[in-house]
Protein backbone atom coordinates (compact mmCIF):
# COMPACT_ATOMS: atom_id res chain seq x y z
CA UNK A 1 0.00 0.00 0.00
CA UNK A 2 2.85 2.34 0.78
CA UNK A 3 4.22 1.94 -2.75
CA UNK A 4 0.84 2.92 -4.14
CA UNK A 5 0.62 5.97 -1.90
CA UNK A 6 4.13 7.21 -2.66
CA UNK A 7 4.05 6.56 -6.38
CA UNK A 8 3.59 3.24 -8.12
CA UNK A 9 6.85 2.38 -9.89
CA UNK A 10 5.98 -1.05 -11.27
CA UNK A 11 4.55 -2.35 -14.53
CA UNK A 12 0.95 -3.01 -15.45
CA UNK A 13 1.58 -6.73 -14.99
CA UNK A 14 2.62 -6.26 -11.37
CA UNK A 15 -0.35 -3.98 -10.76
CA UNK A 16 -2.68 -6.62 -12.23
CA UNK A 17 -1.10 -9.22 -9.91
CA UNK A 18 -1.89 -6.96 -6.96
CA UNK A 19 -5.51 -6.59 -8.07
CA UNK A 20 -5.75 -10.37 -8.48
CA UNK A 21 -4.49 -10.66 -4.91
CA UNK A 22 -7.27 -8.35 -3.75
CA UNK A 23 -9.80 -10.55 -5.59
CA UNK A 24 -8.41 -13.55 -3.74
CA UNK A 25 -8.82 -11.79 -0.39
CA UNK A 26 -12.44 -11.12 -1.29
CA UNK A 27 -13.04 -14.78 -2.13
CA UNK A 28 -11.45 -15.90 1.14
CA UNK A 29 -13.52 -13.36 3.07
CA UNK A 30 -16.75 -14.84 1.65
CA UNK A 31 -15.69 -18.33 2.76
CA UNK A 32 -14.90 -17.48 6.38
CA UNK A 33 -17.10 -17.49 9.44
CA UNK A 34 -19.02 -14.37 10.48
CA UNK A 35 -16.73 -13.57 13.46
CA UNK A 36 -13.68 -13.74 11.22
CA UNK A 37 -15.43 -11.69 8.54
CA UNK A 38 -16.11 -9.02 11.14
CA UNK A 39 -12.44 -8.81 12.13
CA UNK A 40 -11.21 -8.91 8.54
CA UNK A 41 -13.73 -6.28 7.49
CA UNK A 42 -12.05 -3.70 9.73
CA UNK A 43 -8.65 -4.35 8.15
CA UNK A 44 -10.00 -4.47 4.60
CA UNK A 45 -11.95 -1.27 5.15
CA UNK A 46 -8.84 0.58 6.34
CA UNK A 47 -6.79 -0.73 3.42
CA UNK A 48 -9.63 0.01 1.02
CA UNK A 49 -9.75 3.61 2.17
CA UNK A 50 -6.02 3.99 1.62
CA UNK A 51 -6.36 2.35 -1.80
CA UNK A 52 -9.19 4.64 -2.91
CA UNK A 53 -7.36 7.72 -1.65
CA UNK A 54 -4.27 6.73 -3.67
CA UNK A 55 -6.07 5.83 -6.91
CA UNK A 56 -8.40 7.34 -9.46
CA UNK A 57 -11.27 5.90 -11.45
CA UNK A 58 -10.91 4.90 -15.11
CA UNK A 59 -13.64 3.93 -17.55
CA UNK A 60 -12.14 0.59 -18.56
CA UNK A 61 -10.86 -2.17 -16.27
CA UNK A 62 -7.10 -2.47 -15.95
CA UNK A 63 -7.19 -6.01 -17.36
CA UNK A 64 -9.68 -8.13 -19.20
CA UNK A 65 -12.29 -9.11 -16.65
CA UNK A 66 -15.98 -9.81 -16.92
CA UNK A 67 -17.28 -6.29 -16.35
CA UNK A 68 -20.49 -7.52 -14.68
CA UNK A 69 -18.48 -9.52 -12.14
CA UNK A 70 -15.51 -7.16 -11.80
CA UNK A 71 -14.78 -5.68 -8.42
CA UNK A 72 -14.50 -1.89 -8.34
CA UNK A 73 -10.73 -1.91 -7.82
CA UNK A 74 -10.30 -3.11 -11.41
CA UNK A 75 -11.50 0.34 -12.50
CA UNK A 76 -8.90 2.26 -10.49
CA UNK A 77 -5.29 3.16 -11.22
CA UNK A 78 -2.64 4.84 -9.09
CA UNK A 79 -2.76 8.64 -8.98
CA UNK A 80 1.04 8.71 -9.04
CA UNK A 81 2.15 6.67 -12.05
CA UNK A 82 5.61 5.72 -13.13
CA UNK A 83 6.41 6.51 -16.73
CA UNK A 84 6.40 2.79 -17.55
CA UNK A 85 2.98 2.14 -16.00
CA UNK A 86 1.57 5.23 -17.68
CA UNK A 87 2.85 4.00 -21.05
CA UNK A 88 1.42 0.52 -20.37
CA UNK A 89 -1.98 1.99 -19.51
CA UNK A 90 -1.97 4.17 -22.61
CA UNK A 91 -1.01 1.27 -24.88
CA UNK A 92 -3.87 -0.78 -23.40
CA UNK A 93 -6.33 2.06 -24.03
CA UNK A 94 -7.02 2.61 -20.35
CA UNK A 95 -5.59 6.13 -20.37
CA UNK A 96 -6.28 8.58 -23.17
User: What are 41-85's pLDDT values in tens digits?
Assistant: 999 999 999 999 999 999 999 987 777 788 999 999 999 999 999
Tell me what pLDDT residue 3 has.
83
- The rounded mean pLDDT for the chain is 91
Phi-psi label, residue 63: left if phi above 0, alpha if psi -120 to 50, beta otherwise: beta
Query: Is there a contact between 92 and 81 (Cβ–Cβ < 8 Å)?
Result: no
Tell me what pLDDT residue 57 has.
96
Query: Is there a contact between 75 and 58 (Cβ–Cβ < 8 Å)?
Result: yes
Tell me what pLDDT residue 21 has.
94
First-to-last alpha carbon distance for the chain, in angstroms, is: 25
Amino acid sequence: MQRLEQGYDRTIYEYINSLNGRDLLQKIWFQTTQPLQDRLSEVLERLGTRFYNSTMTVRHPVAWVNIQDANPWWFRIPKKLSKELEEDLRSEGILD
